A and B are shown apart, each in its own frame.
Chain A
Amino acid sequence: MRVTAETKTATRQRILEVAQERFAAQGFEATTTRDIAGAARIAVGTLFNYFPTKEAIVESLVGEAYAAAAAKFAKAMDHPVHAAPRSLEEELFAHVAAILRKVNPYRKYLPAVLETALSPLATVADGDAAALRAAHLETVGSIVTRHGRQEALSTVALQMYWTLFTGVLAFWAKDASPRQEDTLALLDQSLAMFVGWLTGQGDTSQGDTSTNPSSGG
């Protein structure tokens, strides 16, 4: 039987949905690929055609939430109410906060991908995680540009940002404080540290780090 692109998309979506249900019901560690395949009514071999590992499923779930968050953030920043003058730090904070909101359902499974695909040590140059990382850093770059920096962020700056960001995610995944309020404090401090370091660099003296000049507000 010939499998159409439409059927493939539907199957992939079904796998993600049942995986999410299983992870939520019995936890990431206790859920096997066999469980997921059974719940999705497909053979385990078929499952592997779509996702080579259990971690890859989480990666896709997180990636989809991520993409939705990025789109929402971009739209919000275009809206005059939301774009009202924010400092560089505030805008970076709003970006990450938007991601945390969307990724929240998968918070507890994040360690699975943080140790692999999202890790600052990851060397894989392709796949969903690499695309996700590239898109995230591109947004960070455009935020920094909006605040007056003319040069692209250096590899070191990007690596530093990504290390802090994934550190916040790792903390968030295990954060037991009410409504994960400690994560907000950590994010605030991490971004303050990053912006402080970035603006303290000699080659960034032309960059305005206070308010967003393009917002006109």
Chain B
Amino acid sequence: MASVTELMRALPEPAEDQAGEVVAPHGVPAAGFPATWSLRPVAVGWFRRLRVLGTLQAKIGAAYLFHWLRGWFKDADENKRLLAETHWRTAVRVLDSMTYLRGAVMKAGQMLAAFPDIAPRQFVETLEQLYFRAPPMHWSLIEELVFRELGDDPDNLFAAFDKKAFAAASLGQVHRARLKSGQEVAVKIQYPGIARTIRADIRNLLLFLTPARLSRDWDNTKDQLDDLRMRLERETDYEQEAAMITRMRALFGEDDGIIIPRVIPELSTSRVLTMERAPGVHLQQFLAGNPSQEVRDAFACKIVVAWYRMMYAGRVIYGDMHPGNFLFMDDGRLGVIDFGFMIELDDTLWSLMEGVDRAITTGSYDERIACLKAWNWIGDDPAEQDRLRLAERFVDWQWRSRSDARAFDFGDEADFRRGVDLFVEMVRKRYSRSRPCAPAITRQFFGLRSLLYQLRAKLDMARIAEKEVRAAGWDRSDFARRAEGEA
């Protein structure tokens, strides 16, 4: 794949939209990345951000239009080449605007990257850089943020502190550091004002969705957006994340081979999070080493165990299932990081999750339909039948990996595509009514499937789930009693 700089050079000249606005911020050379990324301002005013978002949509549309027009004059092979070129250009434009906007818009980019087959590969590969290559805040700003949060300069608080970030994400950027005790740590620092940025993003989203207000499910959509807003806002509070990390760490023992880095509380606040640094490489680097099926399966199994353990024993769903949050270690251990986006299962949700588990383990069609109706508020109205049928096909796809009593092949591209197609069909038909947390759950589920797909994993999910349920001490005997009673 061409480097991002090459892609930037290949871009057509920045076209102004009708309002005369250009996506690229001032001072950014058109021919390539600016010499200093940090010159790029973060848009903080909601109106300015809204304008950029609107312009971005126009840019993407223009890029595809550009391709379509050129396609009239080219032969088929050339057309294919141009399509790839257009995808690159679009992806780079999106990347460019997202690093500019940061915040929740970058979250949208990460979601797209979780769909390896719904978007062209080049597009996804470029978007994946969002996980690791967001423009860093400069050192003077970091120094000041650390001083304000921890009460002293980084040079006094730490034995060593890397001035350059080694990872950047939507909300923060991460620096390597060493404590005076010699412990290697990672220090996550939040962009100033990101919490208000997120609130502005949600407001923008609501404005874009104005036509949807006419639909009968608007109230439910609004609830789902509120849920997303609440989760993103919660993600900005590193104290909550630190508490979650401590809680989740307690669920795993050494034998599990699953590492959740410890928080250093005396060097953590709501805006700065200091954690032990876990070794290891990210998914793409791991896969580049051409690991065997056995090794890939072992790591995939650990990802699934971590997911089930948190769900069954911790009653929380790990919401950020993307490659940037998993570290593959040489000794076979899996590191799990970033616990900002979590879905707590309160009594209502836990009861619904029990319904899912019951429907899967009993294989009962009636249980499945009851579960779907409860999750999505589907009534007996005949007009709802298509919706119910489609939802049933979707969960059939979702649950098959566990209901089949054998190793399931997650690398089956046709199967993955079927799930994506069903999801897209539901979205197209606007069958989005569900529990407020449904978008977050769907996102993490596709994220998990995407990880397992990229690992080409073959796993016996039923066996892993059973083991985790037993370890959690969850008594399922009432399932059988209820089933007998109903019979």
Contacts and interface: CB of A to CB of B under 8 A. Distances in A.
Interface stretch (A4-12, A86-94, A108-116, A160-168): A86-94
Contacts of B289: none
A67 interface: no
Contacts of B191: 185
Interface in A161-215: 177-179, 181-182, 184-186, 188-189, 192-193, 195-196, 200, 209-210
Interface string B123-138: 0000000000000011
A181 B148 CA distance: 9
B140 A97 contact: yes
Interface residues of A, number: 29
A90 B139 contact: yes
Contacts of B140: 86, 90-91, 93-94, 97
Interface string A69-92: 000000000000110101101110
A101 B147 contact: yes
A179 B149 contact: yes
B139 A184 contact: no
Given A101-B147, A193-B41, A89 B193 contact: no
Contacts of B38: 87, 89-90, 188, 192
B44 interface: yes
A89 B138 contact: yes
Contacts of B39: 89, 192, 195-196
Contacts of B36: 87, 89, 209-210
Nearest to B43: A189
Contact of A181 (B139, B147, B163, B192): B192
A38 to B, nearest CB: 36
Interface string B141-178: 10111011100000100000001000000000000000
Given A181-B193, A192-B27, A84 B163 contact: yes
A147 B144 CA distance: 22
A143 B143 CA distance: 19
B138 A87 contact: yes
A182 B41 contact: no
A188 B141 contact: yes
Nearest to A180: B148
A93 B40 contact: no
A188 B138 CA distance: 9
Nearest to A189: B41
A184 B191 CA distance: 10
B35 interface: yes
B22 to A, nearest CB: 14
A182 B141 contact: no
Interface in B190-215: 191-193, 196
B353 interface: no
Residue of A81, A182, A188 ringed by the most chain B CB atoms within 10 A? A188
15 contacts: A82-B155, A89-B38, A97-B140, A97-B143, A177-B196, A179-B271, A181-B193, A182-B44, A184-B148, A185-B44, A185-B193, A186-B44, A188-B141, A188-B192, A195-B39
5 closest Cβ pairs, A-B complex: A196-B27, A181-B192, A189-B41, A93-B140, A94-B140
Given A93-B141, A188-B138, 7 more contacts: A87-B38, A89-B38, A94-B143, A182-B193, A184-B193, A185-B192, A192-B38
